[in-house]
Amino acid sequence: MSNNRFAPVCGVLVVFIVIFNLIAFITASDYSANFWSGYAFITLSWLCLVFVSISIVRRKDHEGYGLFVSAPIITISLVYLLFELITGVLVMVIPDFNLTASIVIQVLIFGIYLIVIFGLSFYKGMATQKLSERSGDTAFKKSLVMQIENAKNRCKNPALKQKLVEMYDLLKYSDPVSSQATTDCEARIMELFPQITADLYQKEKSTTLALCDEIAVLINQRNALCAANKKH
């Protein structure tokens, strides 16, 4: 974890707890059980926010869609801290506040907080996995597009160049994400295309043109498989 990512988070959290402790111990006139109960639950909520914040920064969840799926966890932790700050201060400053009732209420709130956080963490894991699957492996399309582009630029034969242009257009607007269903088609395409690049400077292009047609058929098959895979 780089210092420039951790420093702002650490700074805000440290400033909060320092100011809270200064105010709490300077203004307190009686360190009663109520005082320590309120202090303990406020500190606990702060530690929860520290744990959540550092965990997110360490996993770099602030990047890309990670921030989106992590935002509810951060928000709930902040709300929990604010709630405990209000109720904890009330318990600390009101001597007649029922200590047993305050502890029971705050334990229940802490339990609800943990349930919500674990639920959101589970959702986050599922959402991140789903988004990762959608982003998928785009290496095949990127590689083939680059190879076709290079072949077009090197090709001197008009008929073959036209075939390469058509192949490029066909692939350019196809689904970029590979899947298990497209593996065979992609493997066959990557097996055939080097034969085209090897024949770029030959005068007889009938075989090469046929290879282009075969690859075009395979690209269409891949597109159909991608579309069928999305429906499932």
Same domain, 160 and 215: yes
Residue where one domain finishes, among candidates 120, 135, 150:
135
Nearest-angstrom CA–CA distance, 45 and 117: 13
Query: CA-to-CA distance for 159 and 59, rounded, in angstroms?
Result: 52
Separation of alpha carbons 97 and 172, rounded Å: 70
- Residue-by-residue pLDDT tens, the chain, 232 positions: 444 555 677 788 889 999 999 998 888 888 888 889 899 999 999 999 988 887 776 665 444 445 555 778 888 899 999 999 998 888 888 878 888 888 898 899 999 999 988 888 777 667 666 655 555 577 788 888 888 888 888 888 888 888 888 888 888 888 877 777 888 888 898 888 888 877 666 555 667 888 888 998 998 898 888 878 766 5
113, 135, 157 — which closes off a domain?
135
Are 151 and 174 in the same domain? yes
- Residue 178 buriedness (CB in 10 A; 0-12 / 13-18 / 19+): buried
Looking at the structure, tell me whether residues 145 and 121 fall in a common domain: no
> Residue 24 CB: number of other CB atoms within 10 A?
18
Residues 157, 128 share a domain? no
Provide the number of structural domains found in the chain. 2
* Global confidence as pTM: 0.53
The C-alpha torsion from 72 through 52 and 132 to 231, rounded to 10°, is: -30
Question: Which residue, of 135, 164, 181, is where some domain finishes?
Answer: 135
What is d(CA 144, CA 156) in angstroms, rounded to the nearest whole number? Answer: 20
Distances (CA, A) of 18 to 4, 31, 46, 147, 167: 22, 18, 11, 60, 65
Q: Phi first, then psi: give them for residue 112, nearest 5 degrees.
A: -65, -40
Q: In this structure, are 17 and 131 located in the same domain? A: yes
* 43, two tokens: 């500190």
* CA angle, residues 56, 60, 62, in degrees to nearest 5: 75
Domain residues for the domain of 88 are: 3-135
Q: What would the two tokens of residue 153 be?
A: 């630029």
94 token code pair: 């009101």
